[in-house]
Amino acid sequence: MSNLLIIPAIDIKDGKTVRVVQGIPELNCKAYGNDPVEMAMIWRTENAKFLHVVDFDHSHLHSKKNYKIVKEICESVVIPVEFGGGIRSYDEAATAMDLGVTRLVIGSLAYTKPSEFEKVIKEFGSSRLSAAIDIIANKVVIKGRREIINISPLEFAKRLENAGITRVIVTDVSKNGMLEGANIELSKMIAENTNLKVTHSGGITKSAELFELDALTSIGIDSAIIGRALYENKFSCQKIWRIAESGIFD
């Protein structure tokens, strides 16, 4: 993989690492451990250059009970951490940035409170922000993926670009955690029709999909977030990593 940045996902609910299937977090992932901080350190030892952290409690319940863990993750690894989950105002964005994150993911705020969104961009700069475009059945969803809005993915992407955003995370929620393949065409469509940098998310299961995405870096798809497939060792090289690093965190 010459150009594509692979970003492991750490999804947190009730203080534990969870896996996410079609936007719904599942608890007690014994196959790869429950401690988000330990998981961050494992990904770092496996040469991750960037981490994507999502707080499902803040996204769905507006609870900050996991913020201490997010801060600890940022302090425990020397690589950048991207963080998202239910940021609903400028003040909440500022609080999340204080946790030590490198980049903040904004979703619903861009649609529900555009003036607050613009304030966030002005204060922190586009390089420290990613805008989430979550899609179900080719329709954009917001508010923890619970509300459909009447705007196409491309139209939303162009609106974000016009607001000053330079990067989007494109997720086909129906593919998320299903291990059935990625909707690469969706990310490609947005990359080809905007000047945005695109992070692909959702459905990546095999190395062939990574090579396909890597071939699209020239049009702006420069990174991919991978969750369940990494945790469940769907890539052959992971077996070598596991053997080499067994016992490090015992």
Residues assigned a catalytic role: 11, 134
Burial of 14 (0-12, 13-18, 19+ CB in 10 A): middle
Question: Which positions ≥6 away from 247 have C-beta within 8 Å?
Answer: none
In the chain, the amino acid numbered 216 is L
Q: Which element (helix H / strand E) includes 53?
A: strand 51-55
The C-alpha angle 78, 80, 85, rounded to 5 degrees, equals 130
The C-alpha angle 97, 102, 103, rounded to 5 degrees, equals 80
Residue 57 structure tokens: 């409690």
- Beta bridge mates, 38: none
- Beta bridge mates, 81: 51
Inter-axis angle of helices 153-163 and 184-192, nearest 10: 40
SS3 category, 247: coil
Task: Give the C-alpha distances (Å, rounded to integers) separating 7 from 26, 168, 169.
Answer: 20, 14, 12
Lookup result for tokens 């613009």: 118
Residue 246 structure tokens: 């067994």
Q: Compute φ and ψ for 94, nearest 5 degrees.
A: -65, -40
Report the Cα 122 to chain-centroid distance in Å.
22
